[in-house]
Amino acid sequence: MSRSEAPADPPLLRVRDLSIAYRTARQWNPVVHDVSFDVRAGETVALIGESGSGKTTLAGAVLRILPANARTTAGAILFDGADLGRASRRQLRQIRSHGLGYVPQDPTMSFNPLRTVRSQLYEVLRLTRPERGPAAEAEALLRRAGVADTARVLDSYPHQLSGGLLQRALIAAAIAGRPRLLIADEPTSALDATIQKGILDTLGQLRAELGLAVLLITHDLALAAAHSDQVITLDRGRVASSPYAEALFASAPKPVAVTLAERADDTAREAPAPALTVDGVRKTFGRLTAVDAVSFTVPSGTTHALVGESGSGKTTLARIVLGLLRADSGAVRLDGRPVDPTDRVALREVRRDLQIVHQNPYGSLDPRYTVSRIIGEPLVRYRAGDRRQRQARIGELADAVGLPANVLQRRARELSGGQRQRVAIARALALNPKLIVLDEPTSALDVRIQDQVLQLLRTLQRERSLTYLFISHDLRVVAGLAHTVTILRSGTAVESGPVADVFRSPADEYTRVLLESVL
């Protein structure tokens, strides 16, 4: 089956002036406006945009799986010449099972948790290839999707398998009907970096072998650029103008090597006295060793990054540093003072100098509090100044983190994600702490906002000689912010040292894999 079409051939998928709206309580809210694009056979088109750009809605529209309150208000989608909007139930089923393949976003949620992978794959196979027995076919498909241990995967329930394996099984199901177009909606965003690469390689391979066209939906600009023939940028439901697209790409984290080169002078400063000392910290939960004898020091006024994938123990370690969790052995010192959860009075004193910015800006602010009260809480609790002085301080902090004065009386739910994170930073700054733990502070934000928040953190560090403990899985961000780094894997520190040294000449194999997976 060769699909070497001449350029004159009609496109496989044509989206024409498409507009989609959702009905909320009383009105229709347009989400996609006048979007047009083509996907030719064998071509990969990346659809990129920030959250709220309408990219997932577009994918859902092609598959006609939008919720009942969505409506196509104008335009059409043509697949292989057929208008999907006018397709009968039967035609639609035929197109879904044989024309289109769908690789969803979150593999752990995309299987029925009550049935084995085998029964769910067979269900698809009976539909697509009734002429052959499903058993051999299922194994062949899984192998094709890069699964080696097919028997185990088939006999497992979804919760027993990793996200990476489940995503491969989903890919197997998606190619079962020999589709011509694969719609991949953020196929790797829920996966760890090292696994992401493997999945993308598999998709690329299948594309070549089967002559698949791919519609790749993603918020990851680097990924889109590297894996597609054509990139379409969406901005609030419209195909974006080129300045917007350029600005978006400019805000994306640069490759590690580029960032390191840019920071050459910055990283070459001499080491001042250590602000934070972590010495042989160990923590087990039952049989699981979450953190195993990790040691590092953070010089005052610098940023130390804890890098690792999910389950590497980086969050546990952060909680120990904050005194929220007691280490089984080892010690944490801030400026020579022990951080010890058993001594609550001393801990409270140390915490003046030890603050946090959480990962999720939606959960870390009390929904019932105004912004001003949230920022002022540490001041009130540590009785810093009188009422008037505190008010002045709150205003000053809001200013420092770039919050407009008119948000001070609002509640967290009225703010955007970026603004919420600024509130959290202002709260952390309130008592002039020495160390702030930044727990993936930007991973829940869109790229442009991410960039702004990182910029703010850098400025604040320079102006107030703050020390950061920066927890992240994103090596590109780490390269831009951190001075020293510790790479964690299953609770063990595999490598530690200045960022430039570790990233340029990794001594450990795992570090090398991590670096390769982000380019």
Partner 1 sequence: MKQLLRRAGVLALVLFLVYTLVFVVLVVLPGDPISNRLSHPDAGYTPQTVDLLKHYYGVDKPAAVRYTEGLLRALRGDLGHSLADGRSVTGKLADAFVPTLQLGGIALLIVLVLTTVVGLGALYGRIPALRVAFMSVPSLVYSLPVYLVAVVFIQAFSFQLGWVPLNGDGGFAATFLPACVLGITISPPLIQVFVRSLINADRQPHITVARARGIPELRIFTRHLLPGAALPSLTVLGITIGYLMSGAVVTETVFTRYGLGALTQKAVQQHDQPVLLGIVVVNAAVFLLANLLVDVLYPRFDPRVQPRFSHAK
Partner 2 sequence: MPSSARDTLLADLGAEGDPGVEAGRPGTARRLRGRRIPPTVVLSVLVIVVVLGSAVAPSLLAGQDPINGVPSDKLASMSGTHWLGTDYLGRDMYARIVHGARTSVLSAILAVAVAVSLGTLTGLAAALGPRWLETPLMRLIDVLLAIPSLLMAMVFVAAFGFSSGNAAVAVGLSMIATFARVARVEALRVRSAPYIEAAEIAGTTRVGVVVAHLLPNIATTLISLAVLEFGAAILALSTLSFLGFGAQPPSPEWGQLVAEGANFFYAAPWLVYAPAAVVVIVVLAVNRLSTYLDARAFDESL
The DSSP call for residue 412 is G
**Could you give the count of Cα atoms lying within 13 Å of 140 in the half-sphere of its Cβ?**
9
By beta-carbon proximity to partner 1, the closer residue of 104 and 361 is 104
Contact of residue 24 among partner 2, partner 1, none (CB under 5-8 Å per partner type): partner 2
Distances (CA, A) of 297 to 271, 280, 300, 429, 460: 11, 11, 9, 22, 21
Considering only residues 41 through 100, tell me which ones interact with partner 1, judged by CB under 8 A. 63, 65, 67-68, 92-98, 100
Closer Cβ to partner 1, 31 or 245, answer by number: 31
Q: Is 113 in the site for partner 1 (CB under 8 A)?
A: yes
Which secondary structure element, helix H or strand E, spans residue 384, and what is its range? Answer: none
Q: Of 280, 359, 366, whose CA–CA distance to 320 is shortest?
A: 280
**Taking the complex as a whole, how short is the minimal distance between the CB of residue 182 and partner 1, in angstroms?**
12
Residues 6+ apart with CB under 8 A from 440: 359, 471, 472, 473
Residues 6 or more apart in contact with residue 396 via CB below 8 angstroms: none
Greatest CA separation for the chain:
81
Q: Round to whole Å and give the CA distance between 281 and 295.
A: 7
Closer CB to partner 1, 145 or 371, in the complex: 145
* Residue 49 to residue 252: CA distance in whole angstroms: 12
Are the C-beta atoms of residues 167 and 187 closer than 8 Å to each other? yes
| Residue 130 contact, options partner 2, partner 1, none, Cβ 5-8 Å cut-off depending on partner type | none
Phi, psi at residue 102, to the nearest 5°? -130, 120
Six-digit token string for 263: 């920071």
User: What, of partner 2, partner 1, none, does residue 93 touch, CB below 5 to 8 Å by kind?
Assistant: partner 1
Closest contact distance (angstroms) between CB of 378 and partner 1 is 34
CB of 19 to partner 2, least distance (A): 12
Q: Which residue's CB is nearer to partner 1, number 63 or number 398?
A: 63
Q: Which residue in 44, 56, 110, 303 binds partner 1 (CB under 8 A)?
A: 110
C-alpha 437/C-alpha 415 separation (Å) is 23
Q: How far is the CB of 357 from partner 2 (least distance, A)?
A: 9
CB of 152 to partner 1, least distance (A): 15
Q: Which residues are at the interface with partner 2 (CB under 8 A)?
A: 22, 24-26, 29-31, 51-57, 59-60, 66-67, 104-106, 109, 185-186, 189-190, 236-237, 322, 324, 348, 351-352, 354-356, 358, 360, 362-368, 377-378, 381-382, 404, 407, 410, 413-416, 418-419, 424, 427, 430-431, 443-444, 449
CA atoms within 13 A on the CB side of 283: 26
* Residue of 105, 233, 452, 472 that binds partner 1 (CB under 8 A): 105
Looking at the Cβ atoms of 249 and 382, the one nearer to partner 2 is 382
**β-bridge pairing 274-285 and 435-439:** unpaired
Tell me the sheet residues that pair with 184: 103, 216
Contact 14, 80 (CB under 8 A): no
How many residues bind partner 1 (CB under 8 A)? The answer is 33
Q: Which does 63 bind (CB under 5 to 8 A by kind): partner 1, partner 2, none?
A: partner 1
Q: Which two tokens stand for residue 394?
A: 């709150």
Residue 170 partner contact from partner 2, partner 1, none using kind-dependent CB cut-offs of 5 to 8 Å: partner 1
CA angle 401/446/302 to nearest 5° reads 50
* Proportion of the chain in helix, strand, coil states, percent, rounded to 5: 40, 25, 35
Binding to partner 1 (CB under 8 A) within 163-192 occurs at: 170, 173-174, 177
Least distance from partner 2 to the Cβ atom of residue 470, Å: 17
Nearest partner of 376 among 362, 359, 389, judged by Cα: 389
C-beta of 110 vs 316, nearer to partner 1: 110
In angstroms, give the least distance from the CB of 95 to partner 1: 8
Within residues 145-164, the interface with partner 1 by CB under 8 A covers 157, 159-160
> Closer to partner 2 at the Cβ: 470 or 510?
470
Supply angle C-alpha 266, 270, 271, rounded to 5.
Answer: 110
Q: By C-beta, is 149 or 155 nearer to partner 1? A: 155
Instruction: Provide, rounded to whole angstroms, the least separation between the CB of residue 13 and partner 1.
Output: 15
List 34, 38, 106, 335, residue binding partner 1 (CB under 8 A)? 106
Question: What burial class does residue 498 get, using C-beta atoms within 10 Å of its C-beta: 0-12 exposed, 13-18 middle, 19+ buried?
Answer: middle
Residue 5 and residue 41 in contact, taking contact as beta carbons nearer than 8 Å: yes
Assigned token pair, 207: 């594309």
Cβ atoms of 32 and 57 closer than 8 Å: yes
Residue 115 interacts with which of partner 1, partner 2, none, CB < 5 to 8 Å by class: partner 1
Least separation in angstroms between CB 229 and partner 1: 24
Least distance (Å) between residue 106 CB and partner 2: 5
Q: Which residues bind partner 1 (CB under 8 A)?
A: 63, 65, 67-68, 92-98, 100, 102, 104-106, 109-115, 123-124, 127, 157, 159-160, 170, 173-174, 177
